[in-house]
Amino acid sequence: MFTNKTFLITGIADEHSLAMYAAKEIIKNGGKVVCTGLGVSPFHHNLSDKAKAFLNQNFEDFKRSVHEFLGDAMVEILDVTIDENIEHFAKDLAQKGIKLDGFLHAIAMDKTIRNKEVKPLIEVTKDEFCDTMNVSAYSLIRVSHYLLKHGVLQDGASICSLSYIAAAKVTFHPYRNISIAKAALERITVELADELGRKHGIRVNAIRFSPYMGSKAGNATLKIEDVATSNKMSPLGNAVPMDLAYEICHLFRPESRITGEIRHVDGGYHITG
């Protein structure tokens, strides 16, 4: 299905990341992947020793997981909060002659969640709000912009991002500040589907997945009882990572006419109120 196709995969932290499952399924279907992770780039300035150590360790863990589970897949540093880093990344792909048939936006960040405790929205600062919005939503625009600007993202490509039901309604477990960013991500998805579809034939969709504790992000937010509750609420039980990987590949397949969709891969969790 993906012979001679290459996809950018963002958001891999380790082998348990949802993005990793998608990358493996793309490779299984004959495609290639370019993977990005956080690390120290030439565009990071005035970092503390602690921050450098964290970023260096993060990138080493990321690289090790990619090479162990995805073979010789290309790995690059990408911090979506720094425009110069995004543009440098796009230019580098262009110079290497790499053309992308799509990309997975699986990036999110919310510093108001600590030790599974969620700060009340009324207490969220402007910086906390904007930082979460920048990484979790606006980055979809900027990555798309630079990939198109440098001719890397091809006409007819497919963009897919990961969202959650909390973008639309209050969930039984607290999911405050980032829920607003996910709502923005979904609205950006719809607007880009219109703009990029008309101009480039590019499809843009988002997927709401079940509560999942296997990833670092899910484990930071959820408790075991949360996942058990959603499993009981879902008519088919919670979806598993491979369900998500199959749907991403479905949306990535060539010559599709699916765009502007907010898909649900959650065992029916979204219909239960």
Could you read off the pLDDT of 24-45 as tens digits, one per residue? 999 999 999 999 999 898 999 8
Task: Evaluate if residue 116 carries a pLDDT over 90.
Answer: no
- Give pLDDT tens digits for 182-205: 999 999 999 999 999 999 999 999
| Residue-wise DSSP of 153-203 | EEEEEEEEEEE-GGGTS--SS---HHHHHHHHHHHHHHHHHHHHHHHH--E
What CA–CA distance (Å, rounded) separates 220 from 43? 28
Q: What is the pLDDT of residue 76?
A: 95
Mean pLDDT of 246-257: 95
The alpha carbon dihedral of 255, 259, 262, 268 has a sign of: negative
Q: How far apart are CA 76 and CA 174, in angstroms?
A: 34
pLDDT in tens, 201-211: 999 999 999 98
Grade residue 174 by pLDDT with cuts at 50, 70 and 90: confident
Calculate mean pLDDT across residues 133-153. Answer: 98
Percent of the chain with pLDDT strictly greater than 70: 97
Q: Tell me the C-alpha distance between 101 and 94, whole Å.
A: 13
Q: What is the mean pLDDT of the chain?
A: 93
pLDDT at 215 over 70: no
Complete domains list, the chain, with CATH: 6-271 (3.40.50.720)
Q: Report yes or no on whether pTM surpasses 0.85.
A: yes
